[in-house]
Amino acid sequence: MVQFVHPAMEDLTLEGVLQALADPMRLRIMRSLMQEQSCMSCSEAAPCPDMAKSTLSHHFRTLREAGLIRTTKKGVENRNVVRTEDIEQRFPGLLKLVLSLAA
């Protein structure tokens, strides 16, 4: 069974969060997840329907390791949700600011 690693809120770093958000595709994934405000599979949140699964997995792993999303396994799907409360508590206003400026 796959075990996903999620850093604790106090282990989130500004550098890690900004580095993860520096990629345009990851910004688009985060925007999709934020708009839905619910769990989405990787394919539902994918910025491009024809993106290779390996590339998509890399983007989600980067977001997860930066502490931006939480991934859970549901059946054969990986379900993802933004760690809004943790990010807001650690870096107030950062996520909304970055996403609004990138739009």
What is the domain partition of the chain in residue ranges? 13-98
What confidence score (pLDDT) does residue 15 get? 97
How is domain 13-98 classified at the architecture level of CATH? Orthogonal Bundle (1.10)
Categorize the per-residue pLDDT at 12 as very low, low, confident or very high, splitting at 50, 70 and 90.
Answer: very high
Tokens of 8: 């604790």
Find where tokens 């909304």 sit: 96
pTM over 0.75: yes
* Structural Rg of the chain based on CA atoms: 13
Per-residue pLDDT of 40-55, as tens digits, reads 888 888 888 888 889 9
Question: Is the per-residue pLDDT at 38 higher than 90?
Answer: no
